[in-house]
């Protein structure tokens, strides 16, 4: 088996990408019936709604997400002190103190996202502007609120443009490393 | 399938990888590397750091790569980051050690500890490597990354271009080739970094460069990286109706770069923090240096804000309230970084050289004068040429304010306009240019001529009666004039040299970058202007055949610049029975 596989599969599963059949056999983690969705990056934005398979992912066991989710948390902690920040109490702290920390957390989190993920709005356009939702839209991509009268197209106001991961180049994870340690205890000698 | 071209920028603080093919333009390749414990990700560059931890410090399982099992060493991002906490296990600036004649560069001296005895004890027999081996490990990582991604095109079958500072002498170049072979590359060619940056400009501009440059133009390549600064001049001439390029001058090896600027800014901020009672530990200091690098980049850019806040998070898990706040103002950055490192000086400015202390610890010969502009003025004055255009390279020269200062000064020195050429991404240009040079060598594009940047000499003791207390004066015999091109050889005219069979013949070896007029066979004083001593060259001629131990073999010298780009010196028996290559001796000298 090529060692890359041991590294890669956790991430594929975490982000719901398809593991090709020939990889799935050799993968260290059993890769059961995963949805035949194409990796998001391969889909040109224009043809997304039309050719998207109707079949939606089946619910998969949480254990498969575990390694990847823990690793992502470790990265956010390492680069942005994310866990420290959300575990700390903000009650009674001044906005200036929180702000000074938030600036650093923001920078670190941005760095992680910039490095590993490419994000773009699901619906480009100004929030607050009038939009038309075409026939055959994907309810997973556009969440309607209020009463939809009749069939699409619908006219409405864009409240949030949404986010889509168009590319995920995530770190490969070595097998056998205990991921439950999000951050090791630091001891200075 | 045709052979591919691999371009490698083996940098002092960051290395980069690029590729090209016959019909495939040069492009950068991301480099997979350990970025966290047990995490491997692709990054645009490979930080040139080698971490050699004990198993208690970092578990080998956490260092494995997609192409390896558990490892007891690590190069790249994680080596740099984790190494900051384990400085006694961290090798950095291996390239600067590679060209430091004060140490034996094939001996296991890194991590360098100098006279610090406690560190010696802290290592407890931990692994150490030679500067050559450290460089080989960075190169081996790049080779393995390439092989992993190109199963059908193994790296040892591809043309590999490795860049070296223009200031590297024949010995440092040879050692770079040794490292590249050790790393598993086979078809190796060397290229000077400023030339590579220029090739990247040529590749990026396509044919447009022929309109941007004209015969008579002299381009200054100003390459300021994290740890080193390198200057070269490239002249544009006309050859049979076509534009021809020639590298006409290279500067000295200056150990001064962006890292010095970040440290300087951090020291100022730290002093201010100290006055408010805040103290930083070692890791916070490092965070401060990083923060200062970001502040530098913001404050020296166009449209910079008046100040940039700097926050250093507390070490413990409680962040709020434990964070140290400071700010860096634009005025501070301008005063310290622009006026401190790039002061406005005249064309005749000289680098300030502090007298070396009587007892100097062995270490890297860092530049004492932080003023880049004085180094530049001295370089240009030495060669008596003022550029008509500037090509910037290296991360530091991304800063608009610093570019503006350099251009403003060169204009003032030259007394006329000086243009700025827009090159490729300064972080990747050298690797890209190296890959493009591989194409040029296959006949696709213009080649920069230039040959060897230095003239080389061997020491000949002059025949004088011995005077007690005086070493006999040494003459330097020019064995390779400046400008010797790849593939060219020079035979020395008759001279009286003899090798004794069975004994090691050692010659002192010198180089000069400013003695263009010396032809092969010229005999000058070894302490003449511009001459610097390198490691000696030596050869043991074994007794074999008719040659008996003790026999004196009359030889003449021949020098040859290999296709790889290294200089070879040969002793050729005048009776036609044998030729021997002189080897560079990089052992420590007394």
Helix (H, G, I), strand (E, B) or coil at B178: helix
Burial class (CB in 10 A: 0-12, 13-18, 19+), B131: buried
Interface mutation vs chain B, best among A11, A78, A82, A172, most B CBs within 10 Å: A172
Label residue B355 exposed, middle or buried (CB < 10 Å: 0-12, 13-18, 19+). Answer: exposed
- Shortest distance between the Cα of B93 and any Cα of chain A, in A, equals 25
| Structure confidence by residue, pLDDT tens digits, B561-578 | 988 888 998 888 888 888
Q: Given the structure tokens 């493009």, which residue do they identify? A: B436
Cβ–Cβ of A3/B41 closer than 8 Å? no
Crossing angle of helices A3-14/A62-80, nearest 10°? 90
A78 touches chain B (CB under 8 A): yes
Residue A25, min C-alpha distance to chain B (Å): 18
Q: Does A169 touch chain B (CB under 8 A)?
A: yes
What letters, b where the CB count within 10 A reaches 16 and e where it falls short, cover A56-83? eeeeeeeebbebbebbbbbbbbbbbbbb
The partner residue sitting opposite A88, judged by closest CB among B39, B41, B318, is B318
Residues of B in contact with A87 (CB under 8 A): 317
Question: A105 pLDDT exceeds 60?
Answer: yes
Q: How far apart are CA B25 and CA B206, in angstroms?
A: 11
Three-state DSSP at A133 gives strand
Interval A26-83: pLDDT, tens = 333 333 333 333 344 444 444 444 455 555 556 666 666 788 899 999 999 999 999 9
Structure tokens at B433: 């240019």
Mutate: best of A174, A175, A186, A188, partner B, most B CBs <10 A:
A174
Distance from CA of A109 to the nearest CA of B (A): 14
Residues 6 or more apart in contact with residue B453 via CB below 8 angstroms:
B166, B167, B192, B247, B250, B482, B513
What is the spatial order of strands in the sheet that B49-51 belongs to? B74-75, B49-51, B90-92
Contact B3, B157 (CB under 8 A): yes
Cα separation of B370 and B260, whole Å? 8
| Structure tokens given for B471 | 């070493």
Phi and psi torsions of B419, nearest 5°: -85, 160
Closest partner residue to B317 (CB to CB) among A4, A84, A98 is A84
Closest listed residue to residue A154, CA positions, set A168, A137, A169:
A137
> Measured between alpha carbons, how far is B51 from A168 in angstroms, rounded to an integer?
29
CB contact under 8 A, B36 and A87: no
pLDDT of A55 reads 59
Residues of A in contact with B64 (CB under 8 A): 3, 174
A145 against B463, higher pLDDT: A145
CA B42/CA B57 separation, integer angstroms: 24
- With CB atoms and an 8 Å threshold, state whether A93 touches B38: no
Chain A and chain B share a number of CB contacts under 8 A equal to 84
Q: Angle at Cα A68 formed by Cα A64 and Cα A70, nearest 5°?
A: 110
Of B37, B67, B321, the CB nearest to A3: B67
As a whole number of angstroms, the distance between CA A34 and CA A38 comes to: 11
Determine which of A118, A171, A178, A181 to mutate to test the interface with B (most B C-beta atoms within 10 Å): A171
Whole-model pTM? 0.84
- Per-window interface: A 14-33 vs B, CB < 8 A: none
In chain B, which residues touch A (CB < 8 A)?
Answer: 32, 35-42, 59, 61-62, 64-68, 148, 281, 309, 311, 313, 315, 317-321, 323, 325
Cα angle vertex B94, ends B90, B99, to 5°? 150
Contacts with A98 from chain B: Cβ below 8 Å: 320
Predicted confidence (pLDDT) at residue A1 exceeds the cutoff of 80: no
Are the beta carbons of B319 and A169 separated by less than 8 Å? no
In the three-class reduction of DSSP (H, G, I as helix; E, B as strand; rest coil), residue B255 is classed as coil
Contact A78 B36 (CB under 8 A): yes
Contacting residues of A for B321, CB less than 8 Å apart: 93, 97
CA distance A119 to chain B (A): 18
Cβ atoms of residues B392 and B419 within 8 Å? no
Q: Is the dihedral of CA B520, B522, B523, B525 positive or negative?
A: negative
Asked if A171 has any chain B CB less than 8 Å from its own CB, the reply is yes
Cα distance between residue B237 and residue B565, in whole Å: 23
Distance in angstroms (rounded) separating the CA atoms of residues A74 and A151: 46
Alpha helices in chain A (DSSP H): 3-14, 21-26, 48-51, 62-80, 82-87, 95-116
Give chain B's residues under pLDDT 70: 1, 113-126, 354-363, 462-472, 494-496, 586-590
Q: In whole angstroms, what is the distance from residue B271 CA to residue B285 CA?
A: 12
Chain A partners within 8 Å of B148 (Cβ): 4
Q: Which residues in A lie closer than 8 A to residue B313 (C-beta atoms)?
A: 81, 101, 104
How many angstroms separate the CA atoms of A77 and A61, rounded? 25
Q: Is the pLDDT of residue A137 over 60?
A: yes
């Amino acid at each position: 088996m090529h060692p890359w596989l041991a590294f890669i599969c956790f991430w594929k599963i975490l982000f719901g990408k398809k593991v090709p059949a020939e990889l799935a056999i050799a993968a260290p983690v059993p890769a059961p019936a995963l949805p035949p969705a194409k990796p998001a990056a391969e889909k040109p934005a224009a043809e997304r709604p039309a050719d998207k398979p109707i079949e939606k992912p089946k619910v998969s066991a949480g254990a498969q997400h575990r390694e990847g989710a823990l690793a992502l948390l470790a990265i956010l902690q390492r680069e942005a002190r994310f866990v420290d920040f959300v575990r700390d109490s903000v009650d009674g702290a001044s906005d200036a103190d929180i702000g000074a920390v938030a600036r650093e957390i923001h920078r670190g989190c941005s760095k992680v996202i910039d490095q590993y993920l490419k994000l773009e709005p699901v619906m480009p356009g100004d929030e607050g502007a009038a939009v038309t939702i075409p026939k055959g839209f994907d309810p997973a991509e556009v969440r309607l609120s209020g009463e939809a009268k009749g069939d699409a197209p619908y006219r409405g106001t864009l409240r949030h443009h949404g986010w889509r991961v168009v590319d995920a180049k995530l770190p490969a994870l070595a097998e056998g490393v205990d991921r439950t340690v999000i951050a090791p205890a630091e001891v200075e000698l | 399938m045709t052979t591919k071209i691999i371009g490698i920028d083996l940098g002092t603080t960051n290395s980069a990888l690029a590729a090209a093919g016959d019909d495939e333009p040069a492009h950068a390749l991301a480099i997979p590397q350990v970025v966290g414990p047990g995490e491997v990700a692709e990054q645009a560059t490979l930080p040139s750091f080698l971490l050699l931890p004990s198993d208690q410090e970092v578990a080998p399982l956490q260092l494995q790569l997609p192409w390896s099992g558990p490892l007891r060493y690590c190069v790249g991002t994680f080596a740099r980051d984790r190494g900051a906490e384990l400085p006694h296990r961290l090798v950095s600036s291996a390239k600067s050690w590679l060209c430091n004649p004060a140490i034996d560069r094939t001996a296991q001296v890194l991590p360098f500890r100098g006279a610090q005895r406690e560190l010696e004890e802290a290592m407890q027999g931990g692994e150490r490597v030679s500067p050559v081996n450290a460089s080989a490990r960075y190169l081996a990582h790049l080779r393995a990354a390439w092989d992993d991604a190109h199963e059908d095109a193994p790296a040892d079958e591809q043309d590999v271009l490795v860049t070296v500072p223009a200031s590297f002498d024949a010995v440092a170049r040879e050692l770079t080739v040794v490292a590249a072979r050790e790393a598993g590359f086979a078809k190796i060619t060397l290229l000077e970094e400023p030339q590579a940056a220029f090739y990247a400009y040529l590749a990026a501009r396509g044919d447009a460069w022929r309109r941007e440059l004209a015969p008579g133009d002299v381009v200054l390549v100003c390459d300021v990286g994290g740890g080193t600064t390198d200057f070269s001049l490239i002249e544009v001439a006309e050859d049979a109706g076509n534009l021809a390029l020639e590298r006409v001058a290279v500067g000295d090896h200056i150990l001064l770069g962006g890292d010095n600027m970040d440290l300087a800014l951090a020291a100022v901020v730290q002093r201010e923090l100290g006055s408010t009672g805040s103290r930083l530990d070692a890791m916070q200091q490092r965070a401060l240096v990083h923060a200062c690098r970001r502040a530098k980049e913001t404050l020296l850019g166009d449209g910079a804000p008046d100040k940039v806040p700097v926050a250093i998070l507390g070490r413990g898990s409680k962040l709020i309230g434990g964070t140290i706040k400071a700010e860096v103002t634009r005025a501070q950055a301008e005063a310290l970084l622009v006026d401190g490192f790039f002061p406005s000086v005249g064309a005749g400015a000289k680098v300030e050289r502090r007298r070396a202390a009587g007892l100097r610890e062995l270490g890297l010969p860092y530049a004492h004068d932080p003023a880049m502009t004085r180094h530049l003025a001295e370089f240009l004055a030495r060669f008596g040429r003022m550029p008509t255009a500037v090509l910037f390279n290296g991360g530091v020269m991304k800063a608009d304010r610093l570019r503006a200062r350099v251009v403003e000064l060169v204009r003032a020195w030259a007394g006329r306009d000086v243009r700025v050429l827009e090159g490729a991404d300064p972080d990747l240009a050298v690797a890209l240019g190296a890959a493009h040079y591989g194409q040029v060598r296959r006949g696709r594009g213009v080649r920069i001529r230039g040959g060897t940047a230095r003239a080389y000499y061997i020491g000949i003791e002059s025949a004088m009666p011995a005077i007690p207390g005086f070493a006999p004066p040494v003459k330097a015999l020019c064995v390779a004039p400046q400008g010797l091109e790849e593939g060219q050889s020079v035979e020395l005219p008759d001279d009286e040299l003899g090798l004794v069979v069975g004994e090691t013949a050692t010659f002192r070896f010198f180089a000069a970058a400013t003695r263009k007029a010396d032809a092969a066979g010229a005999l000058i004083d070894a302490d003449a202007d511009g001459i610097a001593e390198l490691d000696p060259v030596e050869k043991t001629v074994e007794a074999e055949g008719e040659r008996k131990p003790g026999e004196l073999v009359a030889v003449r010298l021949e020098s040859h610049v290999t296709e790889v780009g290294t200089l070879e010196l040969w002793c050729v028996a005048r009776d036609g029975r044998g030729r021997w290559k002189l080897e560079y001796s990089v052992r420590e000298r007394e």
